[in-house]
Structure 1
Amino acid sequence: MFSRSELLSSATAFCDAFAQNKDLDTILSHFSTTHQVSAVEHGEKALLPFLGRSFEGLDGVRSYFHIIAALLSYENMVFSEFTVDSEARRVACKGKAKFIWSETKESWTETFAYMVDFDDEGKITDYQVWADSGAAYLARNGELDKVRKVCTI
């Protein structure tokens, strides 16, 4: 069984690699090769191609990260408030970053949440994300800045 400190170390290593825009092979090296893996970004699947569906297996997880990289970029990503459940081998954390929709160049800063499950070797089996799908959807359609001008309450 992995200890609390080992789970925290595995989670922060993954988050640091993502925050530092490491290459996809480095990101995927944090995922299990002995268990079925998945990536899910929660939200309405009709809004964006990476929302609301489970990307299964290493090829599926690779596809998820390819889609994200093709549509978005991000800056100044930081993670905080790591919560470790060593019995469930799960770590949750909060992240914050500025995201830019590549096609429209519209950007937004958001706080998001990760929940990551690990195998008995400290490798990720399940990666879940909760983020601001509304801002991403509006940015994709080039409407985020227009909505900001209207909603100045």
Structure 2
Amino acid sequence: MAPTRAQLLKAAQALCDDFAAKKDLDALLAHFSTTHQATAVEHGEPCLAPFLGRPFTGHDSIRKYFQLLQEHLSYEDMRFSEWVVDAEAGRVAVKGQADFTWTATQEAWSETFHYALDFDEELKVTDYQVWADSGAAYLARKGRLSEERKADTK
């Protein structure tokens, strides 16, 4: 039997809550399917950041994706809103917001991002897609975000 709207929403909220609470990798991976070939992809140009623009397929690869995020980014005040649930497709879309910092340069920015989460019959994520501000991440990575902000005010 296909999951209900309420079940899908609860499963998506649980993953997002764990991510916002900075739970460990095993806690995050517990939300992903073991009966389907799960994939995580953060859309963007791959040369902008090591976690962008390439699919991370399978638990080991998805672990690597989250490790790359932890290695390069820190975040505060993550919150989610505007949940859209498509029970027929088994998908939840949600808007997130947080304050991010590129750890190597300590350059920070506030960002709105979007998730599309596809679920299997066991309410585990099969496809995890992210659309975020890859330009800010790139500039912060290069240590140029503050410089660009100053130039923009002239």
TM-score (norm 2): 0.98
The amino acid of 2:24's aligned partner reads D
User: 2:48 is paired with a residue of what secondary structure?
Assistant: coil
CA displacement, residues 47-73 of structure 1 (integer Å, 9 cap, x when unaligned): 111111100000110000001100000
- Counterpart for residue 46 of structure 2: 45
Segments of 4+ moved more than 3 angstroms: none
Is residue 16 of structure 1 aligned with residue 27 of structure 2?
no
Structure 1 Cα separation of the partners of residues 126 and 59 of structure 2: 10
Matches for 1:56-135 after TM superposition, within 5 Å: 56-135=57-136
Structure 2 Cα separation of the partners of residues 118 and 127 of structure 1: 9
- Counterpart for residue 138 of structure 2: 137
User: 1:2 is paired with a residue of what secondary structure?
Assistant: coil
| Structure 2 spans left out of the alignment, 5+ residues | none
User: 1:9 is paired with a residue of what secondary structure?
Assistant: helix
Q: How large is the RMSD of aligned CA atoms in angstroms?
A: 0.7
User: 2:46 is paired with a residue of what secondary structure?
Assistant: coil
Structure 2 Cα separation of the partners of residues 95 and 103 of structure 1: 24
The amino acid of 2:31's aligned partner reads H
Structure 2 Cα separation of the partners of residues 108 and 20 of structure 1: 19
Query: % of aligned pairs identical?
Result: 60
User: 2:104 is paired with a residue of what secondary structure?
Assistant: coil
The amino acid of 2:76's aligned partner reads E
Deviation at residue 106 of structure 1 after TM alignment: 0.3
| Structure 1 spans left out of the alignment, 5+ residues | none
Deviation at residue 39 of structure 1 after TM alignment: 0.3
Deviation at residue 109 of structure 1 after TM alignment: 0.2
- Counterpart for residue 4 of structure 1: 5
Q: How many residues matched?
A: 153
Structure 1 Cα separation of the partners of residues 153 and 123 of structure 2: 46
